[in-house]
Amino acid sequence: MSPSASRVTIHMAASLDGFIARKDGSVDWLETPDSYAEGETMSPEYVVAFLKTIDCYVMGSRTYETALGFEAKGHGWAYGDTPTYVLTSRQLPKTRPSVAFHSGDLATLINDQLRPRYRNIWVAGGGAVAGACLKLGLADELRYSILPVVIGEGIPFFAGLDKIVPLHLVEVRAYKSGMVALRHEVRREAAATA
Amino acid sequence: MSPSASRVTIHMAASLDGFIARKDGSVDWLETPDSYAEGETMSPEYVVAFLKTIDCYVMGSRTYETALGFEAKGHGWAYGDTPTYVLTSRQLPKTRPSVAFHSGDLATLINDQLRPRYRNIWVAGGGAVAGACLKLGLADELRYSILPVVIGEGIPFFAGLDKIVPLHLVEVRAYKSGMVALRHEVRREAAATA
């Protein structure tokens, strides 16, 4: 497959004030009690079909550990059998064949290893990985799901990004849960000259 | 007027990553080149009529100075003749009769002075004032306008807030400029027990 046919999407859920987790990494506040009457519903069938369109995941080590923690609590493994690349220089448990660890350069991983092989590459966080993807111009698209809560302080959606990245709004969807899902394309021509 | 008939709204425009200004206070990035075909347009008549529904503004001193800076550059004064309360302990220029300075307690100003007198009280920023309003349970509503840009670092939308504030999504609007305007009510019952 041609690398240009691939698409790198950063997806994260965040509080209205832009945090993906509390400072201690906890995400208990993701369960909000809101209900938005005009919102759409997401059927389990839709979610399953949507997740099948994702060809691989990329995530940081803390996001991986959070996912393992969910699994340990009986909530299951969120990424199915889809190949999952975990960025880390630490020794972490490899719990399934679909998980691979990568300790090298993020740009090399995405541009040289993943883009030629996968069409729909999904960066699942956390903030440091998302920030690095944007900073290095590796992402094509941002999907930002905003929950109806303000948490005041925590781990920011984009960490370590020190430049302005212009976006193009592509889609806005609001759900019955009170979550608002925004989709933006990264304006590459502008990002390259920033 | 009964204080309970009044409504305190926090309104700010922010980048997708939740900053209202760069660290030096500049907001040049607010002018984004985006265009969203499915978005609504805001006619000048609508904007004028909408602004007339606002009965008074509350803002921090840096927001006031930013507004004075815009005026000095020939962009006009954004708040018309509407009474404007500036929170400051500094000596700042009083440029018009509608501007008043307040150096005391924010809760006293809003609950004792403004709520009995004004119906639609609009907190225009910045982050410290917005954060204090939420922290002290003074706000009824948040209006958060998200611009299609990520700026990486800057002054956060809510500064100094150290607790979780649950919200209720009320409205989502997307505009041709690529701006997405979210409106949330503050869930007071939950906020009181947080």
Quote the distance between the C-alpha of residue A108 and its chain's center. 19
Q: Is pLDDT of B193 > 60?
A: no
Task: For strands A180-186 and A165-174, give the pairing.
Answer: antiparallel
Q: Say whether residue B178 is in contact with chain A using an 8 A CB cutoff.
A: yes
Task: Tell whether A174 is within 8 A of chain B (Cβ).
Answer: yes
B153: closest chain A residue by CA: A162
pTM comes to 0.90
Q: Given CA atoms B57, B62, B64, B70 in this order, what sign does their dihedral have?
A: negative
With contacts defined as CB-CB under 8 Å, which chain B residues touch A183? Answer: none
Beta strands in A7-140 (DSSP E): 7-15, 19-21, 56-60, 84-87, 99-102, 120-123
* Residue B166 sits at the chain A interface (C-beta within 8 Å): yes
Instruction: List Cα–Cα distances, B152 to A170, B100, B109, B156, in angstroms.
Output: 21, 34, 34, 11
Strands across the sheet containing B141-147: A149-150, B165-174, B180-186, B141-147, B7-15, B120-123, B56-60, B84-87, B99-102
Decide if A146 and B178 are in contact by the 8 Å CB cutoff: no
Instruction: Pick B172's closest partner by Cβ from A16, A170, A172.
Output: A172
Across B175-179, average pLDDT: 95
The nearest CA of chain B is from the CA of A1 a distance in Å of 31
Which residue type is seen at B105?
D
> What per-residue confidence (pLDDT) applies to A194?
40
Q: Any bridge partners for residue A38, and if so which?
A: none
Q: Are strands B155-156 and B19-21 parallel, antiparallel or unpaired?
A: antiparallel
Average pLDDT, chain B: 91
- Specify the pLDDT at position B194: 40
Answer whether residue B1 shows pLDDT above 70.
Answer: no
Distance of CA B57 to the CA centre of its chain: 8
Mark yes or no for CB contact B149/A166 under 8 Å.
yes
Element (H, E) at B193: helix B188-193
Q: Does A59 touch chain B (CB under 8 A)?
A: no
What's the CA gap between B59 and B123, in Å, rounded?
6
pLDDT tens, N- to C-terminus, chain A (194 residues): 565 689 999 998 999 998 988 888 888 888 888 999 999 998 889 888 999 999 999 999 999 998 999 899 998 998 999 999 999 999 999 999 999 999 989 999 999 999 999 999 999 988 899 999 999 999 999 999 999 999 988 888 888 888 899 999 999 999 999 999 999 999 976 444 44
Question: Which helix (DSSP H) or strand (DSSP E) does residue A135 occupy?
Answer: helix A127-135
Range of the domain at A59: 3-24+33-193
Number of domain units in chain A: 1
Domain harbouring B157, CATH code: 3.40.430.10
Report the residue of B143, B150, B164, B193 to disrupt the A interface, i.e. the one with the largest count of A CBs within 10 Å.
B150
Give me the residue from A144, A149, A187 closest to B166, CB to CB: A149
pLDDT tens digit sequence for B3-45: 568 999 999 899 999 898 888 888 888 888 899 999 999 888 9
Q: For position A193, what pLDDT does the model report?
A: 44
Among A29, A39, A161, whose Cβ lies nearest the Cβ of B152? A161
Distance from CA of A178 to the nearest CA of B (A): 5
- The Cβ-side half-sphere exposure at B43, using a 13 Å CA radius, reads 3
Contact A178/B at CB under 8 A: yes
Nearest chain B Cα to A31, which residue? B166
Give the distance from CA A82 to its chain's centroid: 14
Using CB atoms and an 8 Å cut-off, which of residues 70-89 of chain A contact chain B? none
Task: Give B73-122 pLDDT, tens digit per residue.
Answer: 998 998 999 999 999 999 999 999 999 999 989 999 999 999 999 999 99
Identify residue B190 by its one-letter amino acid code. Answer: A
Whether the predicted pLDDT of B2 surpasses 70: no
Write down the pLDDT at residue B158.
86
